[in-house]
Amino acid sequence: MTPLAGEVPGVPVGTCFEGRRALSEAGVHRPLQAGIAGTALGGAVSVVLSGGYEDDQDSGERILYTGEGGRDPRTRAQTAHQLLTQGNLALARSHLLGQPVRVIRRVSGSTYRYDGLFLVASVWHEVGRSGYLIWRFLLEAQVPQPAGRQVTTRLSRKSIHAAQVKAWHDHTCQLCSLRLTTPAGPYAEAAHIRPLGQPHHGPDTPENLLCLCPNCHVQFDLGGVGVEDDLSLLGRPGLLRRVRAHRVDPAGLAYHRAHIYSADPGDPD
Amino acid sequence: MTPLAGEVPGVPVGTCFEGRRALSEAGVHRPLQAGIAGTALGGAVSVVLSGGYEDDQDSGERILYTGEGGRDPRTRAQTAHQLLTQGNLALARSHLLGQPVRVIRRVSGSTYRYDGLFLVASVWHEVGRSGYLIWRFLLEAQVPQPAGRQVTTRLSRKSIHAAQVKAWHDHTCQLCSLRLTTPAGPYAEAAHIRPLGQPHHGPDTPENLLCLCPNCHVQFDLGGVGVEDDLSLLGRPGLLRRVRAHRVDPAGLAYHRAHIYSADPGDPD
């Protein structure tokens, strides 16, 4: 049976459980050991924060969550790179699907509290304190929306320079050269190279934006395509399309390669 | 100068103006006669509701707004079809851009009140009471979002059947056959054929969904592509991709052709 994302009926926010078995039997977090529950294709459904990872940070509504794997089972020290597989892949998939994840915190000893639904607002990788690559996830408490107003698409922050950058490129995608047209005119999206806001703190400048079609925007944000300093593309053939007026910041491209672009083969299933 | 969308500094919601000239000079709604201000490429920036159209409906937070054109200048009677040009095109563009529009209501005689920012939640066409084609726009009061949480993409309602339909098609677009892949797995969107909620009241059923890539989703929702009863595509060559498990409702396709699909040439600029 595919595990279900979202609220568990009869389990309000704040419900406490004694031990992982009780948590599992209530259907709030099924696995007895793993911190992340879910599947590669269906996404993550729940995560448990036990305070086990040295790189985790938790400020209530916003959690920097470290992925799983690469730790010595005996010493719990990070001794290898983490991979975009299993639980890490499930969390990345939740981000892609815009699907909320249940968050459970260990509040003391063996007491666990269900703390509500969070969205995976950001997915990236970095070199942890140990020197090994770790996957990181920014979880943000889901803001209730009016009924029927739910948005299916990914969280993507607005830029005040979006219209300018799209006009410079005449709404032509800088990755695939498509100019998507509709009866309401051409359509493109302005994608931040180094993302805005926590945890990336990219600048909202035209130099930090690309003009992309929606399909390439999904792939760029999820790390399926990157851009080298010489503007050749990573993950597919081709060059970044340029226009004279629009300077692209090489430092932004380097940041994207280091933290977002993933050389993984692409399709896990 | 391109007119600016969004709040006008120093003009809080509820501000009243005596006459169209005062409204214009304050920069709230520039044109002295037209009900819709804006451009084909930049989108609409403001609309004035004067109660002039017989098909308008206004329930406060939600406005069914009728497009402009096709009326006899002397009698004000609808004597021709409305076209997706000028103000109508500007409002469709605001929908595509997810860009808010200032709403001004005539509250009495020559008194106009600025009533805040609305999103163009839906764009369609229908045969009005006069028997002529009219363009219609559903305006919804913008819900304030936490800072930095603004979403750039179009409003699109969630379906509880989205995962099922995407799985049936293995995330392959039914219009262009693309299977978009990312390091977090394949990505597709479930698009309602007859839209959910007001004013279309389409059913949330698998039969009323298509599995589309983001690019084709934009074009389908904006009426750049339609589907005939024999599943041949309108607006581009090809056939709707089918799988045995997924029945598509012909009535939904007919509704989309009648109200969403637009035979306009496509690119206005």
Interchain CB contact of B181 with A (< 8 Å): yes
pLDDT for residue B233: 97
Q: What is the mean pLDDT of residues A63-79?
A: 91
Interface of A with B in 137-166 (CB under 8 A): 143, 145-146, 148-159, 162-163
Q: What is the mean pLDDT of residues B8-17?
A: 94
Single-letter amino acid code for the residue at B51:
G
pLDDT for residue A268: 42
Q: Where do the domains of chain A lie, and which CATH numbers do they carry?
A: 16-141 (2.30.280.10), 162-259 (no CATH)
Tell whether the model's pLDDT for residue B124 goes beyond 70: yes
Predicted confidence band of residue B255 (pLDDT cuts 50, 70, 90):
very high
Q: How far apart are CA B144 and CA B268, in angstroms?
A: 32
Residues of A in contact with B146 (CB under 8 A): 143
Q: Calculate how close chain A gets to B153, using CA atoms only, in Å.
A: 7
pLDDT for residue B128: 84
**CA A32 from chain center: how many Å?**
25
What pLDDT, in 10s, does the model give residues B61-79?
999 999 999 999 898 889 9
Q: What share of chain A is helix, strand, coil (3-state, %, to 5)?
A: 15, 30, 55
pLDDT for residue B24: 96
pLDDT for residue A60: 84
Tell whether the model's pLDDT for residue A4 goes beyond 70: yes
Nearest to A215 among B162, B214, B224 (CB): B214
Residues of B in contact with A199 (CB under 8 A): none
Whether A196 sits inside 8 A of B156 (CB atoms) is no
Name the token pair of A154: 């990914």
As a whole number, the mean pLDDT across chain B is 89
Whether B182 sits inside 8 A of A268 (CB atoms) is no
As a whole number, the mean pLDDT across chain A is 89
What pLDDT, in 10s, does the model give residues B179-196?
999 999 999 999 999 988
Q: How far apart are CA B256 and CA B228, in angstroms?
A: 10
What pLDDT, in 10s, does the model give residues A88-134?
999 999 998 888 999 999 998 999 999 999 999 889 999 988 899 99
pLDDT for residue A145: 60
Q: Calculate how close chain A gets to B22, using CA atoms only, in Å.
A: 28
For A119, the closest chain B residue by CA position comes to B149
Q: Interface pTM (ipTM) of the complex?
A: 0.84
pLDDT for residue B3: 65
Nearest to A181 among B89, B156, B266 (CB): B266
pLDDT for residue B130: 87
Cis peptide before A199 (omega within 30 of 0): yes
What pLDDT, in 10s, does the model give residues A205-247?
999 999 999 999 999 999 999 999 999 999 999 999 999 999 9
pLDDT for residue B268: 42
Q: What is the mean pLDDT of residues A21-45?
A: 94
Contacts of B222 (CB under 8 A, 6+ apart): A182, A183, A184, A187, B92, B95, B96, B123, B260, B262
Burial state string for A224-254 with b = 16 or more CB within 10 A and e = fewer than 16: bbbbeeeeebbbeeeebbeeeebebbeebbb
pLDDT for residue A170: 96
Tell whether the model's pLDDT for residue B269 goes beyond 90: no
For A263, the closest chain B residue by CA position comes to B183
pLDDT for residue A129: 85
Residue of A215, A219, A260 to mutate, testing the B interface (most B Cβ within 10 Å of its Cβ): A215
Give all strands (DSSP E) within B30-179, no chain letters. 36-39, 43-49, 57-58, 62-66, 101-108, 111-127, 133-141
